[in-house]
Amino acid sequence: MTNRTIPMASTVVDSILFRDAFGTKEMRALFSDYELVQRYIDVEVALAKAEARVGVIPAEAAEVIAREASIERIDFDHMREETDIVGYPILPLVHQLVDMCGEAGRYVHWGATTQDIMDTAVSLQVRDALDLIDGDIRELRGILVDLAKKHRDTPMAGRTHLQQALPVTFGYKVAIWLAMFDRHQERLSQLRPRVAVVEFAGAAGTLASLGDKGFEVQKALAEELKLGVPATTWHVARDGLAETVNLLALVTGSLGKIALDIMIMASTEFAEVYEPFVKGRGASSTMPQKRNPISSELMLAAAKAVRQQAGLMVDAMIQDFERATGPWQAEWIAIPESFILSAGALHQAKFALGGLIVDTGRMKHNLGISKGLIVAEAVMMGMAPFTGRQQAHDIVYDACRTVNENGGTLAEALAALPAVTEHFDRAAIDLMTDPANYLGLAPRMVDRAVELSSDI
């Protein structure tokens, strides 16, 4: 028997096996118990300083609280045991802070209620977590810009309803992905001032325990913590946090869309793109030839999980009267998991897209498998000025049926029709039926998307 530590985590976000697949070290640390309690202490210290600034408690007491209140002196086992009894961690924390601060301890948590401290601590966590997400999105957008520019003119089959529709370029596809994340970056910046706000309002949210000093303390506390001041108490107004997790659901939803595209395009029959090669990654235990799109699979799983947490946050908005009887606790589940899963999905996206292998030859091959039928619309529109649109449609329709029933190419079928050859020679027919000549404004749309992205 050895003294090895036995892994005991029971969720993927903390699992020794899966935590780096579904999250990142930085985001896990931010939502760890240690950092959460540190933020509780930060809020209690900031509150003492704020109240001293406006004359609510003695300045000397605030100095002692700031000096003595230390997470290094917290007995976490005792705090856990007491939290199990109380139901919330703040009273157990306050008991220990009071003991640490001696005579000044009487002024710890002055005029505050448990939810004030917990909500403000979460605001600090969310503010810092949004900074991490913001940085990841910015990095991902840079990767997408480079990929879109590189493949601006790379023709491939555009697909609707999983059928080949019209030619596009791979850069055009990437530009659509880029524009989604440009919008997410804007949404994030617009969200931050709505959610990075202090909560300090007292037992029923009226600041009654501080008399006419309540607003002054609230403002001073916000300044100490570099948070905004809300218009009203938000003990039971949870739209800001619900919006935050729903934004994460949008971000991971977009990642899930990209992941689905990559997974289908990486399938053997498509073989158009592949995730970066790392020896052993995506290997099968029974099929040596397999190269599974692991990062995309993880992105898709995260999208599904965060979407569920977004629904939980909306459900948690329905709270009774001035202090809720349960929905608040649901946030303790949803917020950390959503941020960790989102960070993990963004990490996987940066890896997959940053080293994406694009087989342009295979894209060209797949574009040709319809034998020209993919540009039937182009031929119809090319003939319409000479025959009228409806007659052009009927002519091309007949040519497409010939290809489907007898083989050959659309160009060959058209060249056999007098209604076509009286207006077009074979060279003109070949030009009309070349998919690379019917890309529409796809390349220019890439240019526009890249240009607009640079302004964000």
pLDDT at 281: 56
Q: Is 164 helix (H, G, I), strand (E, B) or coil?
A: strand
Residue in the structure block whose two tokens are 């403002």: 219
Residue in the structure block whose two tokens are 């890309």: 439
Specify whether the CB–CB gap between 236 and 322 falls below 8 A. Answer: yes
* pLDDT digit string, tens, across residues 353-368: 999 999 999 999 999 8
Nearest of 294, 15, 244, 265 to residue 130 by alpha carbon: 244
The number of residues in the chain equals 456
195 CB-near residues (< 8 Å, 6+ apart): 123, 126, 127, 130, 240, 241, 243, 244
> How far apart are the C-alpha atoms of 428 and 421, rounded to whole Å?
10
Question: Nearest 5 degrees, angle CA 385-CA 390-CA 395?
Answer: 85
* Domains of the chain, each with CATH number or no CATH: 20-107 (1.10.275.10), 120-197+234-366 (1.20.200.10), 373-432 (1.10.40.30)
Instruction: Look at residue 285 and tell me whether its pLDDT is greater than 50.
Output: no
Q: Is 322 helix (H, G, I), strand (E, B) or coil?
A: coil
* pLDDT digit string, tens, across residues 86-119: 999 999 999 999 999 999 999 999 999 999 999 9
Question: Nearest 5 degrees, angle CA 357-CA 360-CA 361?
Answer: 120
Adjacent-strand bridge partners of 160: 163
Phi then psi dihedrals of residue 197, to 5 deg: -130, 150
Q: What is the 3-state secondary structure (H, E, C) of 123-159?
A: HHHHHHHHHHHHHHHHHHHHHHHHHHHHCCCCEEEEE
Adjacent-strand bridge partners of 168: 156
Higher per-residue pLDDT: 372 or 49: 49
335 CB-near residues (< 8 Å, 6+ apart): 31, 122, 125, 126, 241, 244, 245, 313
Q: Which helix (H) or strand (E) holds 255?
A: helix 239-265
Catalytically active residues, by annotation: 161, 284
* pLDDT digit string, tens, across residues 176-234: 999 999 999 999 999 999 999 999 998 888 999 888 999 999 999 999 999 999 999 99
Q: How many CB atoms lie within 10 A of CB 17?
A: 9
pTM: predicted TM-score of the whole model, two decimal places = 0.92
Nearest of 105, 9, 107, 13 to residue 51 by alpha carbon: 107
